[in-house]
Amino acid sequence: MHEPSPLILVVAALLVLGGPLLRASVRSKRRNRILAEARQFMESVQQRRALSPVPTALTLRPGEHAFYCAASVLRETRLVQLDQPHRAGTGLAGRLGLRRVGGHSVWVESSSRTGSGVLTVTNQRLVFVSRAMARSLLLDSIAQVDSDLNWVELELQDEPGRLRFRAANPLILAAIIRLCLQVDNPLDLADTTVHLTLVD
């Protein structure tokens, strides 16, 4: 029986170890790019003292301007109320899988991918349009905006659950939403103290 040559062993080791290292390198480069783009965007807003309008196919209302319009994926997380019964009974009832009557209700998260579409953020609302559906939210209905390097997550005022939007640069999308929530007129920030923060 022939033993594998040292060269074959080295190549095999590189194939095994190279995959995770390559993926880590790609993630690191993507993270650095997203952070650099977000810093550049915020510096530009600070210098111009305004958000720049962008073109959109959405029909805008009087006084409404679009500040973000790009492809996105919507993932909706709903809170579902389930009955939490007591432990299964003993004896015959337990063997049959029967449970005692009673218990309490618990809330659990149920996540579902709604689909791919186009997300538009204006100074009045947030609109997501796909082939299957269209969803429009007034900015006033947004209670909290969170983001990481992949998603922007919105918590709504009077609706259980959360909406998550994928974006090319989630930090920029989150900053635009927060700014539109903070000010009355994103086109003129001359007399407004802009609070945009970036967490590495």
Residue-wise DSSP of 96-112:
TT-B-S--EEEEEEEEE
* CA distances from residue 159 to 30, 67, 77, 120, 141 in whole angstroms, order as listed: 33, 25, 11, 21, 9
* Residue 196 domain flag: no
> Look-up: residue for tokens 């967490």?
199
Question: What average pLDDT does the structure give for the chain?
Answer: 80
Comparison of pLDDT for 90 and 36, the residue scoring more? 36
CA angle centred on 137, ends 59 and 51, rounded to 5°: 65
* Residue 198 domain flag: no
111: three-class secondary structure by DSSP: strand
Comparison of pLDDT for 129 and 93, the residue scoring more? 129
Q: How far apart are CA 121 and CA 38, in angstroms?
A: 17
Task: Say whether pLDDT at 15 is over 80.
Answer: no
Q: How far apart are CA 48 and CA 42, in angstroms?
A: 10
Q: How far apart are CA 198 and CA 30, in angstroms?
A: 16
pLDDT score of 109: 57
pLDDT score of 24: 75
CB 167 within 8 A of CB 70: yes
* Residue 189 domain flag: no
* Residue 188 domain flag: no
CB 39 within 8 A of CB 33: no
* Residue 197 domain flag: no
Task: Say whether pLDDT at 138 is over 80.
Answer: yes
Task: Say whether pLDDT at 115 is over 60.
Answer: yes
What is the mean pLDDT of the segment spanning 138-162? Answer: 91
pLDDT band at 88 (very low <50, low <70, confident <90, very high): very low
pLDDT band at 192 (very low <50, low <70, confident <90, very high): confident
* Residue 134 domain flag: yes
pLDDT band at 114 (very low <50, low <70, confident <90, very high): confident
pLDDT band at 99 (very low <50, low <70, confident <90, very high): very low
* Residue 152 domain flag: yes
**Each residue of 167-183: pLDDT tens digit?**
999 999 999 999 999 89
* Structural domain of 56: 6-182
- The number of distinct structural domains making up the chain is 1
Q: What is the CATH number of the domain that holds 156?
A: 2.30.29.30
Is the whole model's pTM more than 0.75, yes or no?
no
Report residue 143 as tokens: 């209670």
Q: How many residues comprise the chain? A: 200
Neighbours of 45 (CB within 10 A): 20
* Residue 138 domain flag: yes
pLDDT score of 191: 77
What is the mean pLDDT of the segment spanning 141-157? Answer: 93
Q: How far apart are CA 197 and CA 5, in angstroms?
A: 55
